[in-house]
Amino acid sequence: MARAATTSDAFNAVAEPRRRAILELLAAGERSVGDLVVRLRLEQPSVSKHLGVLRRVGLVRARRHGRQILYEANPEGIRPMHEWTKTFERLWAHQLLRVKERAEEKARQVESDKLGGFKKNFKEEA
């Protein structure tokens, strides 16, 4: 089955790592194309192309400020992705709880082994 174009929806658009990096920077506030170019160490045409994709799918907004165009993340456009990922929050929390329980059990084992070795050495010396 053919994959959907990266410009068809927000999920496909953010599948591209450079677009995610741009979106992360824009989440902190407005930025110009030039600022994004410097921070991401990408060529200006590449950044402009990625911004265009992000705008078309509604993840980024732009406004003119004098001769510059400033870009910012669009919370309304990001909301559907956030809501979808929240459906997995319970699963992630459960997995993290399991990891925590395993780590705590391992720590108890290590501590028990240390104490066992200490007791053995103490008996041999006595």
Asked if pLDDT for residue 7 goes beyond 90, the answer is: no
Residue 69 sits in the same domain as residue 100: no
Q: Say if residue 5's pLDDT is above 70.
A: no
| 14 & 71 share domain | yes
Q: What is the pLDDT of residue 87?
A: 86
Which pLDDT belongs to residue 96? 82
Same domain? 24 vs 66: yes
- Name the average pLDDT for the chain: 87
Residue 2 in any domain: the answer is: no
For residue 62, what is the domain's CATH number? 1.10.10.10
- Residue 56, classified by CB atoms within 10 Å of its CB into exposed (0-12), middle (13-18) or buried (19+), is middle
Backbone angles phi, psi at 86, to 5 degrees: -65, -25
Length of the chain as a residue count: 126
Give the predicted TM-score (pTM) of the model. 0.68
Question: Do the domain assignments include residue 56?
Answer: yes
- Per-residue model confidence (pLDDT) at position 26: 97
Predicted confidence (pLDDT) per residue in 21-65, tens digit? 999 999 999 999 999 999 999 999 999 999 999 999 999 999 999
Mean pLDDT score, 76-88: 90
Residues 6+ apart with CB under 8 A from 98: none
Q: Which domain holds residue 94?
A: 88-125
